[in-house]
Structure 1
Amino acid sequence: MNEVLENCLVSYIEYIQIEKNYSEYTIKFYRQDIEHFFMFMIEQGISDLQKVEYFDARLYLTQLYSSKYKRASLARKISSLRSFYKFLMREKIVVENPFALLIQPKKELRIPKFFYQEEMEKLFQVCDGPSPLDKRNKALLEILYSTGIRVSECANIQLKDIDFDFDAILVNGKGNKERIVLFGSFARVALHDYIKTARNQLMQTAAPHHQLFVNYKGTPLTVRGIRHILNSVIEKAALTGKMHPHMLRHTFATHLLDNGADIRTVQELLGHEYLSSTQVYTHVTKEHLRKTYIAHHPRA
């Protein structure tokens, strides 16, 4: 990669990191997408970003199709490059965006995986123990299921963010956007028990801090740590497969809609900017209705 391309990429990464406040996860994939396109430029003998034309963008997309990329990956790569060139135009490095008119492939509609209520009961039963870690795990599971928050949002909760008077938590979501989420009576009891007893025991040898969830050493629990705990819980519950942390978020949304919640309310609780992000869960509930119908109707 030549120095000019490298400098443009560095400037863009700083832009989406500081001004756009993108997550580390998003930044990682945007960088990979742009570097992949730089390799294409080298293969095509194009050394200047200004010389990339719409035809080149089309050719790049064709090569991606030939390489059997999934539609979600194709859409992200085109989005990354469109955003990159938009930045370059703003900085007056280029005058046109060759990806502006490129039609993004539609994403495959994947029905999110979720837990049935009977499965959730098994998970909670696994955490019904007297030890500090049992109490922490139960509070963690209750909060994730009761609020539908992302695991990254859960890992960042501090004690001051919890309002027991209104059964609400202030969370910091994507794009550094704050929102209020609500939790129910089961989560309140589990959370109160964890904070008053278990957390204090786990914190005995750790330096003081205000993070809500802690590991066995008393230090703040990480996203990776939460993932490990959830997989341990599902293994003990003898449920098949691994629990992706996002499954609890999917379960939260699905169970709300199954029980008659308004989709706009679910959108707000999930912190989705666009309703289309929430609408995927209506497909989940329809599939659930279809399976129930087939299982119980004598003429199905």
Structure 2
Amino acid sequence: MTKKYCTYEQQIVLKDYFNHIIAQGKSKSPHSIRNQISNLALFSKDIGKPYSLITIKDLNNYIAGQVRNCKFNTVNTRKDIIKRFFEWFERPEVVEHIVIKPMEDNKLRKEDLLSKMDVRNMVAACCSEIYKLDLNCDYNAIVDTGIRDKTIIMTIYELGCRRSEVSFINIKDLEDKDTHFLVTVRGKTGERTLPLVETMPYLRELLKTHPYRFDTDAPLFISVKNNEWGRRLLAHGINSVIKKASKRANISKRVYPHLFRHTRATYLSFVKKWTERELRLWFGWTATSYMPNRYVHFAQQEVNKKYVKELGIFDEAEEKKNEAEDKILNIKKCDNCGHKNSATATYCDCGYPLDIKEFTKHRKTISETDELMNELFSDNEFKELVKEFLKKRVNRKEE
């Protein structure tokens, strides 16, 4: 990104600053460092001046533009990055007036979160598009963006992980345990290993044709864009996948990668009743992080529901609806062969239908076919035609 947006002189300065951040050792996450440099590269492009000539007025104009177009917390983060950079660049006088305010706790309403049906619809909306990669290898190097995008959506939902954590999963980070996968993700607070169950069928399908499946150091999710062909799918690529799927699924609410994290944290906290310690371990929050408190404002609603339910006052229809939705992303096990299929699969690989609607349709087709065959073979004229046909086949083989 620095080459794309910065002059040669700016690139040299940013490289020195990058080395300074690494040497300090304060940032544990490579993504965090990358994010700082990316923000500075975009800042450099917008300002269009050498760092030594940037004035207070230039900075004020830039920040004012950010305030008009971005959310408070985003602006605050960018101000902090710029301020620390100029202090390192030994020009503290141009940033001493910049005030970094405490981050706002942007409370989400429950209706802003994704339902399991929303996630299912997004997965179902991912269209299969095949791209062939020229890798000069002995096997077919193809990328099906349909299964790639389905796997991304299911992974980011089931793990509730950060966008960068999904992007930086490598093939070696996966361990197939037969009933599920174990995946190691790396975030701000180090690495953690988590199970993937509902995502397993999509993941297996993706790995079958992954062009780098024999290279354990290769990224799990790769780009098919011309200028990024075969490279790791980065943050902007994950954004694009999510936006496109939500649009195709006709979801009216604002959908973005971090919404999956909010959704999953709320679900595990208030539906599955996970403890604060369990949530911190799963989501990679430190012992001092305030993040679990973000979901406390949903607690009052849940307490109210629990109270009236204990008194025997509850909506039975709503309870059944909630129970049904809770299973909507569950793996479908084939009654015929036992194969574990994805939640959105209609038929198993063996051809057996996986849901009641399709099973009924399947049985009806079989019944109608049997009825038609019985009717045909009860007709003497048809039987004679079949005999004649078989006789000709036998004679042809003997010749």
TM-score by length of structure 1 reads 0.64
- Quick check: 1:168–1:182 contact (8 Å CA) kept in 2? yes
Q: How does 1:135-214 map to 2 (within 5 A)?
A: 135-165=147-177, 167-174=181-188, 177-184=190-197, 186-196=198-208, 199-200=209-210, 203=211, 209=215, 210-214=218-222
How high is the sequence identity, in percent, across the aligned residues? 17
Whether the aligned pair in 1 keeps the contact of 2:18 and 2:33 (CA below 8 Å) is no
Q: Which residue of 2 aligns with 1:48?
A: none
Unaligned runs of at least 5 residues, structure 1: 1-6, 44-59
Q: Which runs of 5+ in 2 are unaligned?
A: 1-11, 45-50, 131-143, 315-399
Cα distance in structure 2, aligned partners of 1:151 and 1:278: 19
Q: Which amino acid aligns with 2:19?
A: E
**Aligned partners of 1:42 and 1:228: how far apart in 2?**
32
Q: Secondary structure at the match of 1:142?
A: helix
Note the C-alpha offset of 1:290.
9.0
Matches within 5 A, 1:103-142: 105-112=101-108, 113-127=112-126, 132-142=144-154
2:36 aligned residue: 26
User: Aligned letter for 1:264?
Assistant: R
Shift in Å, 1:143: 1.0
Tell me, yes or no, if the aligned pair for 2:121 and 2:249 is still in contact at 8 Å.
yes
**1:229 — aligned with what?**
241
Quote the residue 1:40 is aligned against: 56
Structure 1 residues 71 and 243, CA gap change in structure 2 (3 angstroms): closer
Q: Distance in 2 between matches of 1:211 and 1:264?
A: 31
Q: Conserved in 2, the CA contact under 8 Å of 1:263 and 1:279?
A: no
Residues 94-116 of structure 1 show CA distances to partners (whole Å, capped at 9, x for unaligned) of: 9xxx97xx995333220245312
Q: 106-115 vs 16-25, which deviates more? A: 16-25
CA distance in 1 between partners of 2:167 and 2:56 (Å):
39
Distance 1:13 1:222, change over 3 A: same
Task: Kindly indicate whether the alpha-carbon contact (under 8 Å) linking 1:23 and 1:174 is maintained by their aligned counterparts in 2.
Answer: no
CA contact (8 A) 2:67 2:75 kept: no
Give the corresponding residue for 2:274. 261
Whichever of the two has the greater Rg, that structure is 2
1:167 CA drift (Å):
2.8
1:282 aligned residue: 296
| Alignment: residue pair count | 258
CA gap of 1:158–1:41, structure 2 versus 1, over 3 A, is same
| Alpha-carbon distance between aligned partners in 1 of 2:249 and 2:200, rounded to the nearest angstrom | 23
SS in 2 for 1:106: coil
CA distance in 2 between counterparts of 1:236 and 1:170 reads 31
Alpha carbons 2:157, 2:261 under 8 Å: kept: yes
CA change 1:257–1:128 in 2 (3 A) is: farther
* Residue 144 of structure 1: how far off its partner (Å): 1.0
1:228, CA displacement in angstroms?
A: 1.6
Which residue of the partner structure matches residue 331 of structure 2?
Answer: none
Note if 1:16 corresponds to 2:21.
Answer: yes
Q: Secondary structure at the match of 1:275?
A: coil
1:225 Cα offset (Å):
2.3
